[in-house]
Amino acid sequence: MNVIDLHAVTRTYGEGPTAVRALRGVDLQVEQGEFIVVLGPSGSGKTTLLNLIGGIEEATSGGLVVDGIDLSQMDEDGRTEFRRSHVGFVFQFFNLIPTLTALENVQLMAELVGRNHDESLAALDAVGLADRADHFPGMLSGGEQQRVAIARALVKQPPLLLVDEPTGSLDLDTGRQVLNQLRAVADRDGRTVLLVTHNAAIGGMGDKVVRLHSGELASIRPNERPLRAEEVEW
Amino acid sequence: MVSILNRKLRRDLRLRRSQFAAVIITIVLGIALFGGSYDAYQNLTDSYHQLFVTLNTADMTIAGGQTDAIVQAAKGVSGVAAVTTRTVADIPVTVNGDHKMVGRLVGIPESGQPTIDKVDILSGAYPDASATVLIEQHMAKHFDLKAGDTIQVLGPDGWMTERIAGVAASAEYLWPSQSRQQIIPSFDDFGIVFADESLLTDVPATDAHQEVLITYKSNVDRTGLDRLLEDFAKNNGASNATPLADLPSNAALSEDLAGFQEMSLMFPLLFLAAAGMATYVLLTRLVLSQRGQIGLLMASGFRKRSVFGHYLRYGLLAGAVGAVIGAPLGGVLGGVISRLYTGALSVPATVITARWSTALIGVVFALVAGALSALAPAMRAAKLIPAQAMRGLVPAGKGGATWVERVLPPLRRLPARWKSVLRGVGRNRNRTISTVIGVVLAVTLILTFWGMIDSTQVLLNRQFDEVNRQNAQVYLTGQATPDAVSKIAAEPGVAHAEAVADLSASIKSATSQYHTELLGFQPNTNLHSFLVGGHDVPLPQSGVFLGTSLEKDLGIKVGDTVTIDVPDVNIHTTQTVAGFVDEPLGTYAYMSLPELTTLAGGTNVANTVYLTYTPSAQPETMRNDLSALPSVAAFIDSQALQSMARQYMGLFYAFVGIMLALGGIMAFALIYNTISANIAERASEVAMMRAGGIARRTISRLLTAENVLLTLIGVIPGLLFGYVFAYYGLAVYSSDLFKWDLYIRPTTYVFTVIAIIIAALVSQRPVLRAVQRLDVATVVRERSL
């Protein structure tokens, strides 16, 4: 079953001669449990693609079905509802709330979908941070903060995890730890992970590598043997 | 380089135009109100001064005593320009056929304008043999009197009809108060009549007294001259010596002038402090968001001084724009206030001057406020280390449980979103402090003026409901003998009537002297309450009660003795101070009537009758019926006086209403800026929450709760500070004319808090609209690039 089903999706910013066509007729199908890495240079439309799939942005045209829900027919309130239960986001900048502890940052999202304290703690445990639950963001390293952000996205138990440049602010070792966690989300939990990055080395970790160029889908190539995080170099 | 930076500055300002507009509006209000109140103070002072000069108003007025001796002594004093005398008498007058009241007949020469205390004839002509009196303008307006009409004056042989020659204004009766004790005039009951001196020769000696009017040369030591002439007056048996500044009218107007002067200091303080806070918050946020740019500038060779100057210019520019709009606005406002005020008081001429000095002071105030508020953010910008700043990382801010959670552990079980509200309050200490100070300023402004309304109402209620218990006071054509009082008491509608002595007296301590009215009541009277130390106590059989202001003015305390002189009934006595009565209006002395009668050698000293009505009696009917009695010479309706006082307070309430509105605008501007900064700092968090599926409504609710909580934290010190500010603000106005005690109703505190919360809620509406419109994709994209 396809978790993501995109048909001829376009996204244009602005109008007239200054209009920017960020995505041009993209077709993409992603199955449940796949770990997809989207690669492309800056301005290729990676983040736009991620935002469209996550319901943050609206497509200008084309069909967009995610987890069985047709996003092209939805208004903003509907998309908010969709984001709440169907996707989890992880951004390059962790955007943790500095006044809440690691556990409370996770709870913030858990409460949204009726998950309890133990489930929040379990989400933190899953990213190896149970012992840091009472620490505030200012007391955590960058990698730890990103892992809290992953736990925050996962606690809702969404079928789809959308990740935007997760290692952009991290060093190699810490980046590898985070990538390991993300890979485990797909392998262990059977969730679909769509990871957007400009770092070609990370492409080796994906079940499939999607390449974007100037808003067009340049290629979709499966990896016969996805690399483990420890094998990735950049 | 500088021109590019200036272009950046212009564009930054355009980008944050609503926040800068809020700052500028607050500065404009502060400068305009400063200019308005200070110019009004100057204009009114000049207007009065011009009138005093034009009408050659007496610098010193000495009443009673050995007039000839005083005149001779005064003429011999170096610095005295001119001396003259006149006769003054408070006697019953009838206007419009049957309206009986007290008229103050002020003597003017038959030959033409007096040399001192001239009158400004507004209509008609100077009196002559056919028309002998001029009516003071307030009285003429109240009774619609004009040249050719007649009034009746009570002479020794009964009512005398006098023709009105014209309507006049007088510098000494710009505000026609009867005395310092009766500073609020009731036009129904009291009016000024300028009469040919020959008319006053017919008035009984007990009702009339001679006054010596003295003017000074310019450039003399006025205080020294005042003191010297006061000594002459005392040594020659005068009942009172009143310098120009202490004339009842002048003293009342001076209170208002002092008010304008005080406001001209208070407004810039409050508004510019608020504007400063708003600028500080705005620029702190600006510097934080431009860390990368600042780092780049400094790495590229910009000096710290240039960066410092660049950010300082934001504050200076806000101050300059505020000054450019506020200073001329203040000038216009000063003229408008002056005209409205002199119009309301019927001051014949208003001096309106454009004062560059006021505008210049306003500009300096605005620039200093702008520069001071930009100083700290500009210094912070200049101190940034380029390499660190260019990383573009905004400090995450500190985390930690609040002390409230530590004190109240159940709060730790709150949902995470509500914990974020609770902790968000203390997240940025500077912003929290700025908001709290801003709220304190707004609460102070609102509570001060609302407190003034409350205090005024309490003051009037206390005076007219608690202290003065009589419904009316009548002056009789003859003595207030027991028989005459009984006849009044027997009239339909009269519940109780009592003879009272109302005598002009001087109270002397070892160090000072005060001229006032000495009232003699029956010891068990229920027509007047004597509030001593908060309790209603009976009048003592012997000894004297004095108004509280005399404790300080005469330097005396309970148990001390004072000398009391009542020249009209030949009383010269030493009495023990039995207590100080707490009365809001005027400063009187009270003794028992039997004691006064004894001191006067058994002569009946009662000269008026106080009375109360039965519950069904109608005040207007009672006035008509009692005024119609032949034995009644003048009638004073307590309700009319009270209505007059409340009517004048109406102007005051309108003024206070405007101040409350301005306080609201100030609160709005300040809270709007702090809340804008709060939300701008958290755009990425908000975007994350939105991306996570948290509804806009929920986010708005959380931000609203946090901001209201922040506002409420400022409310508590604000109420305390506001109380103290209002207390000292009112204390400035307390004198022997008015005794202002601060009283703030509990509901006022509640309404003030509600007003501030409403201001907070209203001011965050535009910000919340921005949250509603927040483009999550843009925020996420900006952070991801």
C-alpha span between B500 and B610 (Å, rounded): 7
Residue A68 in any domain: the answer is no
Give the number of other CB atoms < 10 A from CB of residue A218.
Answer: 13
A9 CA: distance to closest CA in chain B (Å): 17
Residues of A in contact with B776 (CB under 8 A): 51, 56
Task: Reduce the secondary structure of A71-119 to three states and give it as a string.
Answer: HHHCCHHHHHHHHHHHEEEECCCCCCCCCCCHHHHHHHHHHHCCCCHHH
What is the number of other CB atoms lying within 10 angstroms of the CB of residue B784? 17
pLDDT tens for each residue of A21-59? 999 999 999 999 999 999 999 889 998 999 999 998 899
Alpha-carbon distances of B38 from A172, A197, B224, B265, rounded to whole Å: 68, 65, 29, 8
Q: Chain B contacts of A98, Cβ < 8 Å?
A: 396-399, 427
Let me know if residue A75 belongs to a domain.
Answer: no
**Phi, psi of B674, deg, nearest 5:** -70, -40
Cα angle B651-B655-B661, degrees, rounded to a multiple of 5: 145
Give the residues of chain B that fall short of pLDDT 70. Answer: 1-4, 204-206, 300, 387, 390-399, 651, 780-785
Backbone phi and psi for residue B120, each to the nearest 5 degrees, phi listed first:
-100, 110
DSSP per residue over A128-162, as a string? Answer: T-GGGTT--GGGS-HHHHHHHHHHHHHTT--SEEE
Residues in chain A closer than 8 A to B419 (CB atoms): 99-100, 104
**Residue A8 included in any domain:** no
- The per-residue pLDDT for B69 is 92
Closest CB to A57: pick one of B397, B417, B777: B777
Given an 8 Å threshold on Cβ–Cβ distance, is B783 in contact with A93? yes
d(Cα B369, Cα B276) in Å, to the nearest integer?
Answer: 6
Q: How far is CA B201 from CA B25, B207, B707, in A?
A: 63, 11, 75
Say how far apart CA B584 and CA B597 lie, in whole Å. Answer: 28
Determine contact, residues B42/B353, Cβ cutoff 8 Å. yes
Structure tokens at B380: 């912070």
**Are A23 and A16 in contact, with CB atoms under 8 Å apart?**
no
Compute the nearest-CA separation of A107 from chain B (Å).
Answer: 6
| Structural domain includes residue A66 | no
Domain that holds residue A156: 33-58+85-231
Coil, helix or strand for B552? helix
Return the structure tokens found at A154: 């996962």
Q: Where are the alpha helices (DSSP H) in B95-211?
A: 137-143, 197-200
Look-up of token digits 């959670």: B405
CA–CA gap between residue B415 and residue A104 (Å, rounded): 9
Sign for the pseudo-dihedral over CA of A42, A43, A44, A49: positive
In a domain? residue A70: no
Q: What is the predicted pLDDT for the residue at B250?
A: 86
A77 located within any domain: no
Cα gap B585→B61, rounded to integer Å: 23
Distance from the Cα of A180 to chain B's closest Cα (Å) equals 21
Within a domain: residue A41?
yes
Phi first, then psi, for residue B598 (nearest 5°) are -60, -45
B732 or A20: which carries more pLDDT confidence?
A20
Closest partner CB to B420 (pick from A51, A91, A97): A97
Q: Which of A95, A117, A124 to mutate to test the interface with B (most CBs of B within 10 A)?
A: A95
Q: What is the DSSP string of B397-446?
A: ------HHHHHSGGGGGS-HHHHHHHHHTTTSHHHHHHHHHHHHHHHHHH
Place of tokens 């300080």: B552
**DSSP class per residue in A149-214:** HHHHHHTT--SEEEEESTTTTS-HHHHHHHHHHHHHHHHHH--EEEEEES-GGGGGGSSEEEEEET
pLDDT of residue B206: 63
Question: Dihedral of CA B380/B382/B384/B389: which sign?
Answer: positive
pLDDT band at A10 (very low <50, low <70, confident <90, very high): very high
pTM: 0.71
Give yes or no for A180 touching B (CB within 8 A): no
Q: What is the DSSP string of B614-635?
A: -TT--HHHHHHHHHTSTTEEEE
State pLDDT tens for residues B30-78.
899 889 888 988 999 999 889 999 999 999 999 988 999 999 999 999 9
Question: From CA B119, how far away is CA B112, in angstroms rounded?
Answer: 10
Q: How far apart are alpha carbons A63 and A219 in whole angstroms? A: 19
Residue A189 lies in a domain: yes
| A101 and B CB contact within 8 Å | yes
- Over residues A85-102, the mean pLDDT reads 85
Q: In sequence order, what are the beta bridge partners of A6? A: A28, A64
The domain ranges of chain B are 1-58+257-395, 65-238, 428-467+641-785, 478-629
We report the CATH number of the domain holding residue A124 as: 3.40.50.300
Q: How many domains does chain A have?
A: 1
User: What's the confidence (pLDDT) of residue B785?
Assistant: 31
Pairwise CA distance, residues B149 & B140, whole Å: 10
Q: Is B726 helix (H, G, I), strand (E, B) or coil?
A: helix
CB of A81 within 8 Å of a chain B CB? The answer is yes
